[in-house]
Chains A and B, each alone.
Chain A
Amino acid sequence: MKLEEKIPRRAEVEDLLARCVQCGFCNATCPTYLATGLELEGPRGRIGLIKSMVEGHAVSEKTQHHLDRCLTCLNCETSCPSGVEYRRIIDIGRAWMKDCIPRGIGSHLPRVMLSKMMAHPIGLGLGFRVGRWFKYLLPSAFRPYLHPPRRLNLALSPATETLRTVLLLQGCVQRHLAPAINQALSDVLVKLGYRVVEIRHADCCGAVGHHLGDSETAKAQAKKTMRALHPYLLDPTLQGDQAPIIVMTSSACGLMLKDFEALYQEDLEMAEDAKRIHQCALDPLELIERHVSAIRHRIDHAGIKGLSLKIHEPCTLQHGLKLKGRLAALFSSLGFEVSQGVAPHLCCGAGGVYSLMNPEMAQSLREEKRRHLGLEGQGDAIALTSNIGCMLHLDSKGEVVHWIEFLQGLFKEGR
């Protein structure tokens, strides 16, 4: 099937495609190209497929399959010397595919369910509960997400002087699976003197739908998030140097917040808010980095002597938010010996909901990543990461944790 002559966003894509000179450097860091050796399973090939669509060539399920198999890890953006914005190209390509090629029910149903479910927090909570009961009847790819929630009890000890206001978006999946992560960030920020406001009624930021090429659902969810933030963006006490800092503890969601601007650039009603959010959003890492010296003497290294500390920087953190190496740098500046293992730039295979859609590829990447991180060897190792998806995907017995939860646990009593 061919695309219509008047395809949406054609000019935008043509501009984006013009940057690519097809040097092929990107293939060298693309997990799916490395695993298969197929040009079509690398960024250059996928860009070519989308270019073919623009040029009016017929496309079929084959193109759809190759675009589906992309993890959207964005390693290619880091490797690309020509500055190709692959993320925007693949997003548009996937959205076109949705209009072009109808999916079979087996591929369509789980996508729609995953995408829509995120918008319904009560349904989502219920879904997890029911899912846990029937865990062993579901495909094994779903199991990492169906463990009982990890919990942490915190006693807040607010600092006296208050710094800026932090708006902490609670997200969707994570608050059911690991509510302790948001609590840990909140606790650390309060200790450091921030005023933390938890935004509870925003739900999914839209990242899941966005990844699945369901841009309508993604946009609706993003809109809900923006609505929840809107009053704070207007608040006269939160302007100028008092502007709020918007955070999410999952780096994939953080990246989505940054993307609101591109998503809504032509929507007059939303563009202004989207731009503000883009400016105010920070990864928690960027915030905590500012307080290294304050944290250093308030934490206790004694309890973790002899523990091998591994760092897994999610793709959204290193290639999406372009914060490569910063998580490792944070912990080494806090006085820890850290290791990022072999090939730290490569994806672990989680890829948002990728591991549910492409379990085989995801599994082989997971095994490789665990080996590279040294999680399969002897001795106690803990791996720190910054994204719930990677955390659950990589974990086997609770050794993969969110870094903020780990950091929170190190604070000395009463500090």
Chain B
Amino acid sequence: MNDPADMIDAEGLIEAMVEIVGPEWVLYDPEETRAYASDALTAYREIPRVVVLPNGEEEIVAIVNICQQRQIPIVPRGAGTGLSGGARPIREGVVLSLARMNRILALDPEAAIAILEPGVRNLAISEAAFPHGLFYAPDPSSQIACTIGGNVNENAGGVHCLKYGLTLHNVLQVRGILSSGEVFECGGQTPDSPGLDLLPLLIGSEGMLMIVTEVTVRLLPRPTHAKVVMASFDSIETCAHAVAAIISSSLIPAGLEMMDQAATRAVEDYVHAGYDCEAAAILLVESDGSKTEVDEEIAEIKEILLLNGSRSLVVSETEEERQRIWSGRKNAFPAAGRVAPEYYCMDGTVPRRQMAPLLAHIAQLEKHYRLRCMNVFHAGDGNMHPLILFDGKIMGEWARAEAFGNAILEKCIELGGTVTGEHGVGVEKLDSLCLQFTDAEREVFHALKKVFDPLRILNPDKGIPSLRRCVEHGRKRVDAQKRLPTNLEHF
């Protein structure tokens, strides 16, 4: 049999890649590239033509130049823990894995910053900062594995972003490679920088604007004390009202998370976090800061929760206990794998007062689509993560799960919310985005994309839906636009 390289490498692409990074770091045989067919949203799969693992910015520049000359799409990939298919490969394209670039280039405790390669794991930043009494605040549930490059591209949040903000609020500077092969830097170590502020545009751009090669993050002083309250509720509605009560008080908890019974039961089995599995929903409320601050805040939180219908409360007494309580929440998604063969994790946001109506609607949808759904969410900012449980081996279940998910997102928009909270659009939310934005808004997105990547080689089929797609999928409210689309450019 011929070497697979000869069959798929008519253009000498593999040879060129091997020249840049060495044979060990180029994969082209489907036996090996299949491992890169999806990120953690496994329903969308595609085996890429080549996977390349560069080690250093110069190698990335060389790779981008080769792809630019040949108009070959590039899909960047960090740890592959994403949940919207942002790293799903393109069949004719290159997957650019940044996993080898995992060095912490500098950590300056006095300036409280760290300069990182894109493949540094989120948790590794806080581990390195620990001896200096510092930490990196955004803590997505996948923080043990996900990388800072991926966090920047998805604008990752986490359970503590209510108080400390998203990735956007904790990154000072980003350096990357444009599709032209040029190095591009934005942001700076000063609070404000001259010129247009492009940093917020790049953070959350899902690999569509540039390949991130270096990230400078802000580190914060690690709070000396932290405690979490776990409160049980007999109904979802009371729990949602208690959230509203906390938010409308003067408190800003470090974390405010809600889990329904289906979710607590699934994780309790693995983590033994001590969750009240009899409660219809539980709420986790964290306070951090100095000892006095924490004690005062916890007392206040307890009072609000009890006044608002919490039937029992547990406060973490030790750091170990606190970690255990959180680990249940952080492992909630994959723990769904214990109760069903597959799950479809949704990511929508609604105004906080709309949480109870949305949950009631989801309960109805469960019956309609004949699928179970676990609910886990960042209650503090109204970011919901319904986990739809299904078995892909059963004919039609995945289609039902997908329809179920879309119905949830449509409801989110109807209630004044959005179709993504923190997981990004990727390939998953493209259709939902047609509902979220007007033609004019999407045209601005496309125009911006064109400025950064005129050849459309950087993760080209993700993030922004084309007008054609919106029409073809029947998801665009044409009547609302009062005109039929005329210019159907395929993006």
Contact = CB atoms under 8 A, between A and B. Distances in A.
A42 to B, nearest CB: 9
Interface in A7-65: 18-29, 36-40, 44-45, 48-49, 52, 57-60, 62-63
A30 to B, nearest CB: 10
A21 B99 contact: no
A49 B338 contact: no
Interface stretch (B26-34, B213-221, B295-303): B26-34
A39 B270 contact: no
Given A24-B142, A82-B335, A39 B35 contact: yes
A83 interface: yes
Contacts of A279: none
B337 interface: yes
Give the interface residue-count category, chain A. Answer: 20 to 34
Contact of B335 (A58, A79, A81): A81
Contact of A19 (B31, B81, B338): B338
Contacts of A40: 27, 32, 35
A21 B32 contact: no
Contacts of B100: 36-37
Contact of A62 (B32, B144, B333): B32
B337 A39 contact: no
B223 interface: no
A52 B334 contact: no
A20 B142 contact: no
A22 B40 contact: yes
Interface string B45-82: 00000000100000000000000000000000001110
Give the interface residue-count category, chain B. Answer: 35 or more
A80 interface: yes
Contacts of B270: 81, 83
A45 B80 CA distance: 11
A48 B53 contact: no
Given A25-B142, A49-B35, A62 B79 contact: no
B56 to A, nearest CB: 13
A29 B124 CA distance: 12
A31 to B, nearest CB: 14
A48 B35 contact: yes
B81 A18 contact: no
Contacts of A29: 144
Interface in B321-345: 331, 333-338, 341-343
A413 B294 CA distance: 53
B41 to A, nearest CB: 9
Given A39-B99, A57-B34, 18 more contacts: A23-B40, A23-B145, A24-B80, A25-B144, A25-B145, A25-B334, A27-B145, A39-B35, A39-B97, A44-B35, A45-B35, A49-B31, A63-B31, A79-B144, A81-B335, A82-B335, A83-B337, A84-B337
7 contacts: A23-B337, A24-B142, A29-B144, A39-B97, A48-B35, A62-B31, A81-B331
Interface of B: 27, 29-32, 34-36, 38-40, 42, 53, 79-81, 97, 99-100, 102, 119, 121, 123, 142, 144-145, 267, 270-271, 331, 333-338, 341-343
| Those 6 A-B pairs whose CB atoms lie nearest each other, nearest first | A82-B337, A37-B99, A81-B331, A81-B334, A28-B145, A21-B337
Interface of A: 18-29, 36-40, 44-45, 48-49, 52, 57-60, 62-63, 79-84
